[in-house]
Amino acid sequence: MSLRAPQRPQASPAGRGRLLGLDLARGLAVLGMLAVHIGPTSGGDALSRVYALPHGRASVLFVLLAGVSVTLLARSRSAPRPRAQLLWRALLLLPAGLALQSLDHGASVILAQYAVLFAVATLLVGARDRLLLGVVAVSATLGPVAHWLGQATAPAVFARTPMEVSDGPVAVGVGLLATGGFPIMVWAAPFALGLWLGRRPLGEPGVQRLLVVGGLGATALAWAVSAGVLALTGPPTSAADPLMLLSRGAHSQMPAWLLMATGTAVLLVGAALMVARRVPRSSWPVAAVGQLALTLYVAHLIALHLAPELLISDEVGRALQVLAVLALLAVAAATLWRSRWRYGPLEAVLRWPASRARQKAATRAQSEVRAELEALQAVTVGSSANPPRDARHEHR
């Protein structure tokens, strides 16, 4: 059992070079995102608190898995020019995210931040492990501190307001980096950690157990430190109070919340890998949802825009009913789609450069084989038309 990076990513039990557990974890993130966007994320009773558990955690799980997937893409033998593919995805997701944010769905769209992270990943996919862990450490410490200072000195600027297409390029850039709902200076930590985790032998049971134990330990440590200190000092008195750094509030961008959310994400990835390894058939329906994550993400935003009164509720009971229906629809649609096609509609668009490159390579290989066969046939025909001299003498 070791966390040393293998030469290449391990194949899934299905033998297709894909770890089903990662898709299962992504599917859980999709379902958690649905819960957050259709129901209440706060409440005093136990049921409300349980319902709100995905709030501030599902998105971090998404970002962590994005980092893992980028590393697997970069190290795949079947993925031509991975940096060009990442840039293609960034160019698509940035305008798409800004455009989707302009819809009336009440959610903060994370796709533009994905675009920036993918662009940054073109510089990090070949970096050493130490550099990746350094990015994690700097982003997880200095990023939250910088965000806290911004909120303390300029709360109107650091209001985590989502960016839209109508915003100017400067406002969009500042929002993506520092002031928006998912500031890159903070969220680079789980993404870079995912890049690092993608280099580990995630198919090994020992590594999966380490992820579960390590994620649980990080979550418990962050909670214990935050709860213990705040129990002695009392809660923060203002946004400028340094005790805000110990806030565990979802999307507070503070170190305690970030460590708890990232630890939970690591735990879920390890658990999903273990479950998918042991019961792959039972894991498949939710894993199919994870394989169509982008398509379902965009579809649910459009649905919330078109029918908010039908889908969004402040009552937990009503939200649970809607969530159950949407979850069943997502599982059914994803399973049926994957039974016929390899990629979802929007996933296929993201993979277009790779598909086109593979088609060109296949065409080129077929042309070379055809040319070799024609050359061999020409040699064979020529030999038959001009037999050796001894053979001609014998015929006489």
Q: What is the residue-wise DSSP string for 43-59?
A: -SSHHHHHHTTTTTTHH
Nearest alpha carbon to residue 159 among 111, 120, 110, 108: 108
**pLDDT at residue 7 tops 50:** no
User: Rounded to 5, what percent of the chain is helix, strand, coil?
Assistant: 70, 0, 30
178 within 8 A of 158, measured Cβ to Cβ: yes
The total number of structural domains in the chain stands at: 2
143 within 8 A of 185, measured Cβ to Cβ: yes
Both structure tokens of 110: 């994370």
Band of the pLDDT at 15, cuts 50, 70, 90? very low
258 within 8 A of 144, measured Cβ to Cβ: yes
Both structure tokens of 187: 């969220």
Both structure tokens of 195: 């890049």
pLDDT in tens, 248-274: 999 999 999 999 999 999 999 999 999
**322 and 369 together in one domain:** no
**392 and 295 together in one domain:** no
**395 and 248 together in one domain:** no
| Chain centroid, CA 169 distance in Å | 25
Q: Is residue 210 part of a domain?
A: yes
How confident is the model at residue 14, as a pLDDT? 37
Q: How far apart are CA 295 and CA 104, in angstroms?
A: 18
Q: Is residue 8 part of a domain?
A: no
**205 and 107 together in one domain:** yes
Band of the pLDDT at 76, cuts 50, 70, 90? confident
Exposed/middle/buried for residue 135 (C-beta within 10 Å: 0-12, 13-18, 19+): buried
Band of the pLDDT at 9, cuts 50, 70, 90? very low
**For the chain, percent of residues with pLDDT exceeding 70:** 85
Which range marks the domain in which residue 384 is found?
351-396
219 within 8 A of 260, measured Cβ to Cβ: yes
**183 and 322 together in one domain:** yes
**195 and 76 together in one domain:** yes
262 within 8 A of 222, measured Cβ to Cβ: no
Q: Is residue 366 part of a domain?
A: yes
Q: What are phi and psi of 104, to 5 degrees?
A: -95, 75
| Chain centroid, CA 373 distance in Å | 45
Q: Is residue 11 part of a domain?
A: no
Nearest alpha carbon to residue 334 among 52, 27, 8, 88: 27
Both structure tokens of 112: 């533009």
Nearest alpha carbon to residue 317 among 5, 51, 76: 51
How confident is the model at residue 16, as a pLDDT? 43
345 within 8 A of 57, measured Cβ to Cβ: no
pTM of the predicted structure, to 2 decimals? 0.87
**pLDDT at residue 379 tops 90:** no
